[in-house]
């Protein structure tokens, strides 16, 4: 790159960030184009309190049974947190000697710099997360691994669906379901007991813990929730509409307050953006900026239309300016900060859609589901992972022949098929279960377990809006069959910090992910995939496309941390 072009390159980075003057001073003599600063919003008090609740280790069944008092440390910690399971072997648990908390599965900086671990985007390191005690149905792990939280609450035009199968319609529902569920050691029949215990912890907490000293100014939850004590600093003072007196509130009201605060905290876990809400943290984002490519949809423009426009502009790019390590660097990542010719080739493949039936067209049609700029459509698709897992355990073609009951059939025998709940505490959860050799009744059908499930009423209206959207056939069983093996599309941003991939953690690397789509799209083209997604018809990949796509996925990496 010529000196003049290098200068223009740096100016484009600064102009795109809206910080030309301040950025030029900060970058003087560095030889690098300064990155645009992360957007800073005022942190609501519920966010700060929510972080402490997210970290609190006293809400689980193990603590309820083994603690001698709410404010007394455990004599011996829960074995489940003594180690952290990873695909590279166990690591010492950051909460060893204590009990389960939310952070025990949704890590961030606890393993910063540790080989084989590193930063996380509030995700775990394993295929399925261990739980504190075996459930009545035999589960000693969660059905899926811990989906990353960062970006999960990104603003969108459609409904909010949480968890891989859309079980929760709001953050509050997710928090309550988790704190009172198997993740915290509670049996389905112990819901009321769990609620009572959580409320007891909140009422009796005296602010003497190190957590309270570090994050809550040494104040108790009761004082903070009431919001009238003059010792409460402004950054912890809840607005009147969010305050409750835990001494007079019901147990359910107390737990709802806990859920509100934790949800507020999770909603603020977002990837880096500038003051105009444009993503700025990755080499890919910088490549768009310096090449004058659109970084986000225009007002009123659909994401689909934006992705098509972006593709056309990328194809028309005659003399691209590439991002090199001279333009930036990663603080926490080992890879180079770059977006070069290989990454650009991968972007084209990612955005390209092939004609139905085409072969080796170098078209991933990835953006049909992973729509830029968020790189998710936040809804559900069958990516073939459940079929691949089931066939590996039971033989090729087994998933296609798996008996799946109709809705009347599964409701007539709820315990045989559907997940347990307080109404059905002894349900087998057989169709939200890892496939096992010799156990053909076990499969994971994803959204099928939630849609039309009367024990999960809250997400049903929004799920029906997705399943029975215009153009979709809901004439049979209200579209239940179309939900088979569907899972929510994950966000691809900073994907490097949420391995292993897919709902079952079956892909350890980006290469594994791309090879999976090559294999499953080929099966779909040959009518060998059950409930194949329409998007696979326009996917045409070969081994020549693996390296470019992997390079592009790596270019979405950024230095996420929770500060």
| pLDDT one digit per residue (tens) for the chain, 563 residues | 444 344 444 444 443 433 332 332 222 222 333 344 444 456 788 899 999 999 999 999 999 999 999 999 999 999 999 999 999 899 999 999 999 999 999 999 999 989 889 999 999 999 999 999 999 999 999 999 999 999 999 999 999 999 999 999 999 999 999 999 999 999 999 999 999 999 999 999 999 999 999 999 999 999 999 999 999 999 999 999 999 999 999 999 999 999 999 999 999 999 999 999 999 999 999 999 999 999 999 999 999 999 999 999 999 999 999 999 999 999 999 999 999 999 999 999 999 999 987 888 999 999 999 999 999 999 999 999 999 999 999 999 999 999 999 999 999 999 999 999 999 999 999 999 999 999 999 999 999 999 999 999 999 999 999 999 999 999 999 999 999 999 999 999 999 999 999 999 999 999 999 999 999 999 999 999 999 999 999 999 999 999 999 999 999 999 998 77
| 236 neighbors 45 (Cβ within 8 angstroms) | yes
Nearest Cα to 381, choosing from 363, 369, 396? 369
Helix residue spans in 18-44 (DSSP H): 20-26
Tell me, which fold does domain 278-377+489-563 have in CATH? Cytochrome Bc1 Complex; Chain D, domain 2 (1.10.760)
Nearest Cα to 404, choosing from 350, 364, 370, 441? 441
Buried b (16+ CB within 10 A) or exposed e, 211-229: bbeebbbebbbbbbbbbee
For residues 78 and 65, give the distance between their C-alpha atoms in angstroms, rounded to a whole number.
11
Nearest Cα to 12, choosing from 285, 310, 277, 337? 285
| 271 neighbors 494 (Cβ within 8 angstroms) | yes
**For residue 380, what is the enclosing H or E element?**
strand 380-381
Helix residue spans in 352-405 (DSSP H): 385-394
Q: What is the pLDDT of residue 41?
A: 54
| 38 neighbors 277 (Cβ within 8 angstroms) | no
| 265 neighbors 47 (Cβ within 8 angstroms) | yes
Q: Where are the domains of the chain?
A: 1-34, 45-267, 278-377+489-563, 381-488
Find where tokens 């790189």 sit: 375
Q: What is the pLDDT of residue 505?
A: 96
Q: What is the pLDDT of residue 16?
A: 40
For residues 73 and 60, give the distance between their C-alpha atoms in angstroms, rounded to a whole number.
14
């Amino acid at each position: 790159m010529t000196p003049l072009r290098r200068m223009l390159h740096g100016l484009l980075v600064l102009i795109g960030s809206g910080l030309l003057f301040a950025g030029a001073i900060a970058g003087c003599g560095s030889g690098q184009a300064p990155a645009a600063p992360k957007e800073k919003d005022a942190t609501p008090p519920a966010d700060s309190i929510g972080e402490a609740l997210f970290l609190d280790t006293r809400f689980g069944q193990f603590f309820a049974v083994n603690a001698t008092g709410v404010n007394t440390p455990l004599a011996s910690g829960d074995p489940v947190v003594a180690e952290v399971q990873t695909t590279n072997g166990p690591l010492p648990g950051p909460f060893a000697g204590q009990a389960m908390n939310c952070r025990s599965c949704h890590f961030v900086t606890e393993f910063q710099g540790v080989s084989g671990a590193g930063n996380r985007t509030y995700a775990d390191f394993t295929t399925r997360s261990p739980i504190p005690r075996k459930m009545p149905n035999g589960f000693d792990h969660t059905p899926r691994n811990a989906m990353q939280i960062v970006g999960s609450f990104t603003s969108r035009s459609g409904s909010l669906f949480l968890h891989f199968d859309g079980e929760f319609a709001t953050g509050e529902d997710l928090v309550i379901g988790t704190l009172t569920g198997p993740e915290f050691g509670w049996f389905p029949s112990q819901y009321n007991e769990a609620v009572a215990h959580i409320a007891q912890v909140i009422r009796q907490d005296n602010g003497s813990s190190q957590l309270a000293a570090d994050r809550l100014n040494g104040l108790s939850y009761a004082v903070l929730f009431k919001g009238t004590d003059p010792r409460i600093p402004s950054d912890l003072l809840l607005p009147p509409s969010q305050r409750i007196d835990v001494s007079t509130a019901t147990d359910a009201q107390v737990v709802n307050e806990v859920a509100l605060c934790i949800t507020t905290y999770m909603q603020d876990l977002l990837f880096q953006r500038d003051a105009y809400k444009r993503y700025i943290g990755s080499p890919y984002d910088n490549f768009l900026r310096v090449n004058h490519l659109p970084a986000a949809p225009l007002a009123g423009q659909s994401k689909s239309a934006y992705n098509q426009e972006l593709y056309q502009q990328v194809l028309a790019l005659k003399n691209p300016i590439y991002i090199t390590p001279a333009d930036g660097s990663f603080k926490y990542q080992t890879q180079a900060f770059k977006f070069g010719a290989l990454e650009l080739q991968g972007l084209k493949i990612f955005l390209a859609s092939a004609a139905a039936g085409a072969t080796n067209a170098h078209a991933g049609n990835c953006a049909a589901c992973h729509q830029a700029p968020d790189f998710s459509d936040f809804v559900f698709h069958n990516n073939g992972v459940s079929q691949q897992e089931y066939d590996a355990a039971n033989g090729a073609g087994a998933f296609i022949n798996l008996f799946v009951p109709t809705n009347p059939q599964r409701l007539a025998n709820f315990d045989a098929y559907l997940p347990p709940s307080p109404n059905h505490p002894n349900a087998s959860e057989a169709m939200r279960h890892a496939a096992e050799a010799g156990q053909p009744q076990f499969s994971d059908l994803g959204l099928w377990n939630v849609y039309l499930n009367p024990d999960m009423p809250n997400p049903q209206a929004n799920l029906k809006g997705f399943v029975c959207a215009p153009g979709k056939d809901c004439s049979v069983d209200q579209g239940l069959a179309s939900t088979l093996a569907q899972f929510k599309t994950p966000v691809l941003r900073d994907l490097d910090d949420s391995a292993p991939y897919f709902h079952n953690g079956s892909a350890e690397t980006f290469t594994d992910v791309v090879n999976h789509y090559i294999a499953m799209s080929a099966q779909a083209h040959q009518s060998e995939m059950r409930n194949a997604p329409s998007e696979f018809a326009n996917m045409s990949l070969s081994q020549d496309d693996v390296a470019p796509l992997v390079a592009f996925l790596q270019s979405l990496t950024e230095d996420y941390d929770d500060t």
